[in-house]
Structure 1
Amino acid sequence: MSILFSPITIGGVSLKNRIVMSPMGMNACKAEDGKVTNWHKIHYPSRAVGQVGLIMVEATAVSLDGRTDPDDLGIWEDAHISGLKELVTMVHEQGAKIGIQLCHGGRKSKVPGKILAPSAIPYNENSIVPEAMTEEQIREVIVSFKESARRAKQAGFDVLEIHAAHGYLINQFLSPLSNKRDDKYGGNLEKRYQFLKEVIHEIKNVWDSALFVRISATDYHPDGCSINDYMIYGKMMKEQGVHLIDCSSGWVVPPNFPESPGPGYQVPFASQIKNEVQVPTAAVGIIKTGLQAEEILAHGHSDLIFIGQELLRDPYWPKRAAQELHVSIDAPPSYEYIWNK
């Protein structure tokens, strides 16, 4: 039996397989109101038809001024709930579970007006200088994460993921490259974790299903966070009841990745955190084939496989993976006559 196509339960949520559609920015809300569009209703359910076990909806803005782009999907007001609820229903009808990723862009927000960050340090030489957040502003953003989680629960999502990676606001607090504060939210590793700690705490007051956190497991910078720092952060998350750590990397400062990152280049981060922190993890990044995904799981490197670009190229990637692994999987009823030939 293939591990990739075996069921798993994480945080009380049972998935039919280990394949997850990775959250990716779609920038499809052209009205700039953050509401679900017909495009979303085609995009996500089609991957559920393709037999993905868990659909993770894109980075979704918890506040109007925290959008990473003006056309981001939003969850900052109750008016968003009905569209998200319809999307959840459509995915559930196709036999998949669905999650949503909550995000605040911080200094990487590309919206008119002021932008907020832990410290008044721009992302790069072409970025505007953000406003260093007051403790009152910090509290307001924490509440926006909590209220967004409440809306996600009302919409019926199965999984919630906190976006603490890729240089967005929470990642900015975690990294010494972007956090130069000398109050309770900065100065050492434990204080840099304080913002995420409070976000998790408040979310757990209103959310009782599976909770994931996406991290950038290294900053790829000698003065930034390394995997060793994230081992400590991982232990803190585990103690707070986070059910899975989704292991990505980079982007808190302008990218300085390996020149040509190879397939599965982030898998070692997921493996180290899984096996040393003893918490479930997800592997993501240049995972292209079913054989590759199966090998990652078989060696105990992660518990879930997040697939991004390959699912944009092929909504039926799970079928292709099953063929590679010589595994028979259920077909959507209307496709049975051709999938089983």
Structure 2
Amino acid sequence: MTTDLYSPLSIKGLTLKNRIVMPPMCMYSARNQDGYSTDWHVMHYASRAIGGTGLIIIEMTNIEPDGRISNNCLGLWEDGQIEGLAKIVAACHTAGAKVAIQIAHAGRKATDAITPVSASAIPFDGASKTPRALSTAEVSDMVNKYAAAVKRAVKAGVDAIELHGAHGYLIHQFQSALTNKRTDRYGADKALFGTEVIQAVKQVMPTEMPLLFRISATEFDANGYRLAESLQLATAYQQAGVDVFHVSAGGESPTGPSATIGSDAGYQLGLAAAYKQALTTPVIAVGKLSNPQLANAAILNNQADMVAVGRALLRDPYWALNAADTLNKTIELPKQYVRAFPAATK
């Protein structure tokens, strides 16, 4: 039987009805800048669940107040934040989607922190604050904060956890020679911090719950790591317990990606395919995959196991339903919408 964009997928205890992923996209809409979600978030995510998305990954949710990109970002550093996230999860479940959450720390990219922290005291660019390098003991404390946030996410009822190790945020800052100039063990082994975070969060997750890891497969910088080096990192992370890699790129260098990279549809598919070939974990592909035929071909051609559709899902919450119509796929529709999709009715 042919495996395509609308084939189900099982990963450990998680079964998805299709391979369409809503990637984490910051909404900068936390309540009163306190890290709490609101009813707006419930509507935002639930509408994509009604629209047929198989896996919804809640936006970057941070392990401490100074770990946020901005003070308008979500957090999971205290128990009171669990209830709001649980409402999001429940609403998405009711509409037939599975839910993951991205747990993260912005590190030197925490723009509203008075003094951000990082692997080393290197600012992102000339307009950014100079971060304070974490002490060795503080790095261990940070590992524990990741685990505590994940434990809260599990209580909120999520189906999977994603760690953010891409786009120049804290884990990425430790794994990159551009930002990690340390002389302790976390400098000697660039994968150590990420590995310790993975091992710590696995201890507080149910055995059958998958752990996703978003990684920049290349930094698009002459002095940064390339695909081969990132696969070495990923191998260590897989051995530590990662179940799925969400393969993106760039983010650590201010001279790198967005200004010069990414003008072509599917520009990162080759990176996802390389990960799929080199590793034994499922892979999520990203990067201008909003064309239904292209997204479907990524699965048909075995370049990825899942496809993340970002901005297109912001424009159209029902992208998954409309893509099925475009591809002449017969799918299970919300009964309330059947009359709008007569050709795709199951």
- Where on the TM-score scale, by shorter chain, does this alignment land: which range? over 0.9
- TM-score normalized by structure 2? 0.95
Whole-angstrom distance in 1 between the partners of 2:262 and 2:210: 34
- Which amino acid in structure 2 is aligned with residue 69 of structure 1? S
- Offset of 1:294 from its aligned partner? 1.0
Q: How far is the alpha carbon of 1:113 from its aligned partner?
A: 1.8
Quick one: which amino acid aligns to residue 193 of structure 1?
Answer: A
Q: Which residue of 1 aligns with 2:246?
A: 246
Shift of 1:50: 0.2
Partner of 1:98 in structure 2?
99
The secondary structure found in structure 2 opposite 1:56 is strand
Q: After superposition, what is the alpha-carbon deviation per residue over 1:128-169, rounded to whole angstroms, capped at 9, x for unaligned?
A: 110010012111211110001100110000010000000000
Match of 2:140 in 1: 139
Q: Is contact 1:107–1:122 with CA below 8 Å preserved after alignment? A: yes
Find out whether 1:199 has 2:200 as its counterpart: no
- 1:204 partner letter: K
For 1:13-52, list aligned pairs within 5 A: 13-52=14-53
Kindly provide the CA deviation profile for residues 272-322 of structure 1, in whole angstroms up to 9, marking residues without a partner as x. Answer: 011122321110010111110111111111101011000001111012211
Match of residue 165 from structure 2: 164
Helix, strand or coil for the counterpart of 2:185?
Answer: coil
Q: Call closer, same or farther: CA 1:276–1:260 in 2, change over 3 Å.
A: closer
What residue identity is the alignment partner of 1:244? V
CA-CA distance at 1:87 after TM superposition: 1.1
How many angstroms does 1:260 deviate by?
5.3
CA contact (8 A) 1:11 1:211 kept: no
Deviation by residue 1:214-235 (Cα, 9 ceiling, x = unmatched): 0011111121111001111121
Q: For 1:200, what is the secondary structure of its paired residue?
A: helix
Q: Does 1:305 align with 2:303?
A: no
Q: How far off its partner does 1:251 sit?
A: 0.9
Cα offset, 1:338, TM superposition: 2.3
Report the alpha carbon displacement of residue 259 of structure 1 after superposing the two structures with TM: 4.9
Secondary structure (helix, strand or coil) at the match of 1:180 reads coil
Residue of structure 2 equivalent to 1:231: 231
1:2–1:327 Cα contact (<8 Å) kept: no
1:221 maps to 221
What is the RMSD computed on CA atoms of the aligned residues?
1.2
User: Is the Cα–Cα contact under 8 Å of residues 282 and 303 in structure 1 kept in the other structure?
Assistant: yes
The 8 Å contact of residues 221 and 255 in structure 2, kept in 1 or not, is answered as no
1:198 Cα offset (Å)? 0.5
Length, aligned pairs only:
338
- Residue pairs, 1:1-341, within 5 angstroms: 3-187=4-188, 191-208=189-206, 209-257=209-257, 258-259=260-261, 261-340=263-342
CA distance in 2, matches of 1:260, 1:307: 14
**1:2–1:325 CA contact under 8 A, matched in 2:** no
Structure 2 Cα separation of the partners of residues 210 and 80 of structure 1: 22
- Determine if contact 2:31/2:37 at 8 Å carries over to the other structure: no
Give the SS at the match of 1:242.
Answer: coil
Q: Which runs of 5+ in 1 are unaligned?
A: none
Displacement of 1:72 in angstroms is: 0.3
Moved more, 249-258 or 65-74: 249-258
Structure 2 letter corresponding to 1:47: R
Question: Match of 1:273, SS?
Answer: helix
Task: Give unpaired runs (5+ residues) of structure 2.
Answer: none
Q: Matched residues in 1 for 2:187 and 2:58: separation?
A: 31
User: Structure 2: how far apart are the matches of 1:260 and 1:22?
Assistant: 17
How far apart, CA to CA, are the structure 2 residues paired with 1:168 and 1:260?
A: 20
Evaluate the alpha carbon distance shift between residue 259 and residue 144 of structure 1 in structure 2; reply closer, same or farther with a 3 A threshold: closer
Deviation for aligned residue 1:256: 2.1
Shift of 1:36: 1.2
SS at match of 2:80: helix
Partner-residue secondary structure (3-state), 1:246: strand
AA aligned opposite 2:106? G
Q: Deviations over 1:84-143 (max 9, x none)?
A: 111111110001100100010000001242210000000000111100100121112111
Q: Deviations over 1:27-80 (max 9, x none)?
A: 011401111111101100000000100111000011111111110011111010
Corresponding residue SS for 2:74: coil
